Amino acid sequence: MTASRPGPNLSRIATSLGVSVATVSNALSGKGRVSGQLVERIREHAAELGYVPSQAGRALRTGRSGVLGLVLPDIANPLFPKIAQAIEFAASAAGYGVLIADSRGDVAAQTEAINRLVERGVDGMVVIPRRATRISSAACPVAVIDTPSTPGNTVAADHWQGGHEIAGHLAGLGHRRILIIGNNQESNVQNDRAGGIRSGMRPGMHSETLWIDRLEQENGSGCPLGLAEKVGQGFTAFAALSDLQALRALTELQQAGINIPTDVSVTGFDDLIWSPVVTPSLTTVRMDMDSIAGIAVSALVDTIRTSSIREGVLVTAEIERVAMQLIVRQSSGPANPAPRTSEMENM
């Protein structure tokens, strides 16, 4: 019944060359003392046979699986494709595989997902939390990608600076009244972005913040945001804390007959898939997910390599904030000097 793998193993190479298994292992890993010529011969023959080391055998002996876990508690996060790609790329460059564990939003399910990963023997994990969650329970090194201002964060985009960029851009276009639109008041990321925007405003500028989660608690999910009314109140710029909210604002304004960017400007965050293709295309701020993933994974891998025994540590990296990049497109333009009067102004 023992279903042996199809490929050759160390002992096959060894007997085939008339040497011992240990020598083959040493030759391939370059660790023990093997003569140069023999190393050459063994490597050649291994390549010829298409030898692939058994992860299972190696894992059993070394106690390392060569696999990292990726946990995304944030259900259906639209950044997921980019994140997963970046992490997988960085991990596979470091010789690791990536095991995913999506926990469908639930906090209990999240710990359960983390446990599943640990049971599968991951050597470490990358966690991207919505809110700062207790990760310390995990029995392996953990790298957290959240926001630089959150304690326990390993590396993240500098959301605060991203907000600064947006504010500077809008200020430069002459905007004075900015409506910040977020959808989750608990989110560290969104609060940092909003704080960055506020701190980047110049004297004389004014901002208000609209939290969609609050609004929807009162008026139901998918309710209108009442942005036309805000235009009537003199807001000329709508700075959403994510492209999803930017899109929501953009379409609601357009539907109300307000032109973008002629009448008002709309900006977002994250440069999500639709940002370049909507009309007008979205001015937004992009995070360098490749750099972030690279830093997180290499810090994680370093910790794994140095920590002799599997333990639950929060990984730290030398660089813990990565600058965001402003992408100016068509949804932002000069502030309309004479903001038009909305028919809803009397409300």
Partner DNA sequence: TCACTCTGATTAAACGATTAATCAGAGTGA
Partner DNA sequence: TCACTCTGATTAATCGTTTAATCAGAGTGA
Q: Residues interacting with DNA, by CB under 7 A?
A: 1-2, 4-5, 9-11, 18-23, 25-26, 28-29, 31-35, 38, 51, 53-54, 56-58, 60-63
**Nearest alpha-carbon partner for 145 in 132, 124, 127:** 127
Least Å from the CB of residue 66 to DNA: 10
Q: What is the C-alpha end-to-end distance of the chain, expressed in Å? A: 78
Q: What minimum distance in Å lies between the beta carbon of 243 and DNA? A: 44
The two structure tokens encoding residue 184: 């989750």
User: At closest approach, how far in Å is the CB of 200 from a second copy?
Assistant: 27
Gyration radius of the chain over CA positions: 26
Which x/- pattern, by CB under 8 A, does the window 85-124 give for a second copy? Answer: x--xx--x----xxxxxx-x-----------xx-xxx---
Relative to beta strand 284-286, strand 325-327 is antiparallel
Cβ-based nearer residue to a second copy, 9 or 149: 9
Contacts of 226 (CB under 8 A, 6+ apart): none
Which of 5, 206, 214, 305 touches a second copy (CB under 8 A)?
5
76 binds a second copy (CB under 8 A): yes
89 binds, among DNA, a second copy, none (CB under 5 to 8 A by kind): a second copy
Q: For DNA, which is the closer residue by CB, 32 or 334?
A: 32
In contact, 8 and 17? CB cutoff 8 Å: no
Of 152, 190, 176, the closest CA to residue 270 belongs to: 190
Residue 44 carries which side chain, given as an amino acid letter?
E
- Provide the residue type at 77 as one letter: N
Strands (E) located in 113-205? 124-127, 142-144, 156-157, 177-182
3-class DSSP state of 4: coil
- Tokens in use for 335? 């502030």
Distance of alpha carbon 333 from alpha carbon 335, whole angstroms: 6
Q: How far is CA 142 from CA 114, 267, 296, 300, in A?
A: 11, 33, 9, 7
User: In this structure, what DSSP letter does residue 166 have?
Assistant: H
Tell me which of 42, 67, 127, 170 binds a second copy, using CB under 8 A: 67
Whether 136 and 313 have beta carbons less than 8 Å apart is answered as: no
By CB under 8 A, what part of segment 268-327 binds a second copy?
273-274, 276-281, 308-310
Which residue in 186, 251, 323, 345 binds a second copy (CB under 8 A)?
A: 251
Binding mask 134-153 for a second copy (x = CB under 8 A): -----x--------------
Contact between 66 and a second copy (CB under 8 A)?
yes
DSSP code, position 339: P
Q: Does 228 bind a second copy (CB under 8 A)?
A: no
Output the smallest distance, CB 6 to DNA, in A: 9
Closest distance of CB 305 from a second copy, Å: 11
Among positions 230-249, residues that touch a second copy (CB under 8 A) are: 244, 247-248
| Contact by Cβ (8 Å): 244, 213 | no
Of 23 and 183, the one with the shorter C-beta distance to DNA is: 23
C-alpha to C-alpha distance for 263 and 19, rounded to whole angstroms = 79
Question: Of these partners, a second copy, DNA, none, which one is at the site of residue 81 (CB under 5 to 8 Å by kind)?
Answer: a second copy
Q: Which residues bind a second copy (CB under 8 A)?
A: 2-6, 52, 54-57, 59-67, 70, 75-78, 80-82, 84-85, 88-89, 92, 97-102, 104, 116-117, 119-121, 139, 221-222, 224, 244, 247-248, 250-252, 254-255, 259-260, 273-274, 276-281, 308-310
